Amino acid sequence: MVSNERILVMFNKYGKPVGDEGKELVQYLGTLVRMPEHVSIEYSDWRKVPMQQKEDMYSLVKSKFSFHQGETSQIKKWILYSMGKKWRTWKGILKSRGYDASLTIDEIVTQQTNSDDRVNATQFKELVKRWFTPEFQLWHVFTLKLAFLAQIWPAIAFLLWPMVALLLWSRGLNQILISLVHELDWKIRRVSKGVLGIEL
């Protein structure tokens, strides 16, 4: 393939990429959101990332891939959604391998930036600061316990989760609820792989 030739990707009727080319697209999206020059990990929520940055990343995607059906709003929506999901997953990976309550913020930052050149020190430090806030400490402990509970007694976890979500929502703690959902999703996947040997 010529270096400047775009990869043609086909999408199924559900608006998701298929085939080997589709896998290349998915892999590229994961790589793109890990590049600090394109999107910062210091944002607390994907929705707070400026739309212009998302549009710039989408333009990069279009410079490398073309779509069999042509560009549609459904395809663009899927790509932006997937970038957001992979961005959150990347932040989860960083926390999983970097969070250590026995270390200082600067020690955690130094440890991670020395071992992974994809981690921007300034951005990462802002993320780590948030890990040490009381709000984060609360849902960190809770989601770890709930994720483990979901593997042992799924019925109890299934009943408990809606009550917690309703409590947070009723008290106007929407941002904590959103973060809790993302954190819980990440931990359930990790615990499932470790305990059950399956990837959710």
Whole-number percent of the chain with pLDDT over 70 = 66
Q: Quick one: 12 and 111 in the same domain?
A: yes
| Within a domain: 2 | no
Q: Quick one: 163 and 189 in the same domain?
A: yes
| Within a domain: 1 | no
Cβ proximity of 170 and 177 under 8 Å = no
Q: Quick one: 29 and 116 in the same domain?
A: yes
Q: What is the pTM of this model?
A: 0.70
Q: Quick one: 114 and 155 in the same domain?
A: no
Q: Quick one: 116 and 191 in the same domain?
A: no
Under the banding of pLDDT at 50, 70 and 90, the label for residue 128 is very high
Between 176 and 106, residue with greater pLDDT: 106
The answer to whether residue 115 scores a pLDDT higher than 60 is yes
- What range defines the domain where residue 107 resides? 7-130
Rounded to an integer, the average pLDDT of 176-197 is 48
Whole-number percent of the chain with pLDDT over 90 = 50
Q: Quick one: 66 and 42 in the same domain?
A: yes
Q: Quick one: 89 and 20 in the same domain?
A: yes
pLDDT for the residue 154? 56
pLDDT averaged over every residue in the chain: 79
Q: Quick one: 80 and 163 in the same domain?
A: no
Q: Quick one: 32 and 83 in the same domain?
A: yes
Q: Quick one: 86 and 27 in the same domain?
A: yes
Rounded to an integer, the average pLDDT of 101-116 is 93
The answer to whether residue 136 scores a pLDDT higher than 90 is no
| Within a domain: 100 | yes
pLDDT for the residue 194? 46
17-18/7-11 β-pairing: antiparallel
Q: What is the CA radius of gyration of the chain?
A: 19
Rounded to an integer, the average pLDDT of 73-80 is 92
Which of 2-16, 59-73, 112-126 is least confident?
2-16
Q: Quick one: 111 and 79 in the same domain?
A: yes
Between 3 and 69, residue with greater pLDDT: 69
> Count of domains in the chain?
2
Final residue belonging to a domain, choices 130, 156, 187: 130
Rounded to an integer, the average pLDDT of 121-142 is 81
Rounded to an integer, the average pLDDT of 77-105 is 92
| Within a domain: 163 | yes
H or E stretch covering 147: helix 134-152
